[in-house]
Amino acid sequence: MITVRVELEARAYDVVVGPGARHLLPEMVPADAARAVVVTQEGTDVDVEPGVPFDTVLVPDGEEAKTLQVVERLCRDFARMGLARSDVVVAVGGGVVTDIAGFAASVYHRGVRYFNVATTLLAQVDAAIGGKTGVNLPEGKNLVGSFWQPAGVVCDTETLSSLPAREWSSGRGEMAKYAFLGDGLLDAGRPGAELLRLPIDEQVSVCAAIKAAVVTEDEREAGRRMVLNYGHTLAHALEASAFGPGARWDLRHGEAVAIGLVFAARLAHRLGRIDEPRVLLHRRVVEGFDLPTSIPAGATASELLEFMARDKKARHDLTFVLDGPRGVEPVPGVAADDVLATLTDMGCAP
């Protein structure tokens, strides 16, 4: 097993990575917990034993499940099941489950401890770590949420063996992001290959360690932690504009992030922050992870700009995370005209 420590003083916790890691959960649950509620989804065929008596609650599939109504239902289930503040919630699943269960845990009894048992690549390399929980509104993704650190994270790589191809793509979109945030992960011959050639346990733990270091430095996204949103501003706009039954395209989160990375590179080039070879490097990294690089047909620049302007990272201006001379960093005050021009250059209708 590989253990990555998230150093947050009294809120510090371990991320345990490896085959069969979920069986270590009983050792992680605090001795004063008398019971647990396991939150998962239909079809998540992962046996989990928290070491105390537990009930199981199911939440719906997909981003559409991330609503305040689902959180209310979860909290009412917690109450009916007698969950006390000293007890624990265990989220078993991907990023949707960890987002919903973590948010419900953060508000029930004003905060109960929770553990993430991450069963998808996306959750293991990113979503389950760092304590950002939340749900969506029709106006945008993750606009309601909280910072509530898990008491522990389990990344059992055995659970990845049954993932469909699109779920692997979703996780690799976040891995492509980490290739630009970690040292030595952009080899000149095949960018991103340094990460992909590692055994899966090490791929997960390398990404987890990068995120843990950033979260330790800036837990509540006051500055440095914003780099973890690299590629996400456009990604969230693409996802938000596809909410509901009238969705015009089907993108997994990591696929949207991959497109967002290419967009961010082109925007950085337009602003004079990076040169053309660096833009090409972004495209080569994304393609190296076998991910999309183009904005879906039918997207309009004005609509995407509207979603980006209300993104949860905006500070009454257009703030993007962009590459530059000092590496990847937040850049406030980006002009709307530059954003629109970059989107139209990538094939968006005005």
Tell me which residues are annotated as active site: 110, 132, 174, 211, 221, 225, 229, 232, 236, 253
How buried is 62 (Cβ within 10 angstroms: 0-12 exposed, 13-18 middle, 19+ buried)?
exposed
Phi, psi of 111 (to 5 degrees): 125, 110
What's the CA gap between 103 and 82, in Å, rounded?
A: 18
What's the CA gap between 180 and 282, in Å, rounded?
A: 9
Residue found by looking up tokens 């690549």 in the block: 121
Q: What is the DSSP string of 321-339?
A: EE--TTSSEEE----HHHH
Cα→Cα distances 158→18, 104, 171, 223, 337, Å: 8, 27, 15, 35, 47
DSSP 295: P
What's the CA gap between 342 and 345, in Å, rounded?
A: 5
* Rg of the chain in Å (alpha carbons): 20
Instruction: Measure CA 141 to chain center.
Output: 12
